Amino acid sequence: MPEPALGYAAAFLVEHRVQLTLTRGRATKLGDYRHPWQGKGHRITVNQTLNKYAFVVTLIHEFAHLLVWEQHKNKVKPHGDEWKKVFVTLMQPLLQPSIFPGALLPVLLNYLASPKASSCSDPDLLRSLSAYDARPAHLKLLEELPEGAVFANRQNRIFKKQEKRRTRYLCTELASGKQYLIHHLAEVRVSPHSAQ
């Protein structure tokens, strides 16, 4: 995480006695919060594969869940108005150029006007955060490929990209002929046999 944010995060972890665990990259979630239960205190997990800016946003997202749980227990929606207000409040001290690059700050401010359940739910924020990923040269975002391109997903299934439908592309799996909607910001491996 950016060094100027370390003290802020460490103070929160100590004050609330949080067990923070860095996990391998999970495809289904970036972070997770578990409230105290059966003698265990607050527990937060964050994917260690995130870049430092995505890590900060995810960690603060989970901090907000902790504070909402302390105030309301399970009586409010996980990403309702209470969570949004707490998340925005926790992010405010971090919105500075010493923590986030200048190009990312306006995107974060726009996202914080009405935060969604996940930073992945906001395509502009996800795209901006992923620009700082250490992505190998053989990986591309699906939206970067031309229509008709052939690509492989993480499970090595081969697809052909077709038209866009809102935030996903219709793609045909070549082996089965089945069609799937794949998120436009999915990381894919370009096939050398890509047809245009």
Tokens standing for 29? 């979630």
> Same domain, yes or no, for 114 and 143?
no
pLDDT of 196 reads: 42
Measure the CA–CA gap between 107 and 165, rounded to whole angstroms. 23
pLDDT of 6 reads: 96
For residue 195, is it within any domain?
no
Q: Which of 144, 123, 119 is nearest to 50 (CA)?
A: 119
pLDDT of 136 reads: 79
Q: How many CA atoms lie within 13 A of 71 on its CB side?
A: 13
> Same domain, yes or no, for 122 and 144?
no
Residue 140 burial by Cβ neighbours in a 10 Å radius (0-12, 13-18, 19+): middle
> Same domain, yes or no, for 25 and 89?
yes
> Same domain, yes or no, for 102 and 162?
no
- Over residues 137-163, the pLDDT tens digits come to 788 889 989 999 999 998 899 999 999
CATH number assigned to the domain comprising residue 146? 2.30.30
pLDDT-above-70 percentage for the chain: 96
**Which pLDDT band holds residue 195 (cuts at 50, 70, 90)?**
very low
Contact (Cβ atoms closer than 8 angstroms) between residue 123 and residue 133:
no
Measure the CA–CA gap between 132 and 42, rounded to whole angstroms. 30
Task: Judge if pTM exceeds 0.85.
Answer: no
> Same domain, yes or no, for 107 and 25?
yes
> Same domain, yes or no, for 16 and 78?
yes
- Over residues 65-120, the pLDDT tens digits come to 999 999 999 899 989 999 999 999 999 999 999 999 999 999 999 999 989 877 76
Which of 84, 103, 130 represents a domain boundary (last residue)?
130
Domain range for 63 is 3-130
Report the chain's terminal Cα–Cα distance, integer Å.
40
For residue 196, is it within any domain?
no
> Same domain, yes or no, for 34 and 93?
yes
**Which pLDDT band holds residue 192 (cuts at 50, 70, 90)?**
low
Which of 96, 130, 164 represents a domain boundary (last residue)?
130
Q: Could you give the number of structural domains in the chain?
A: 2
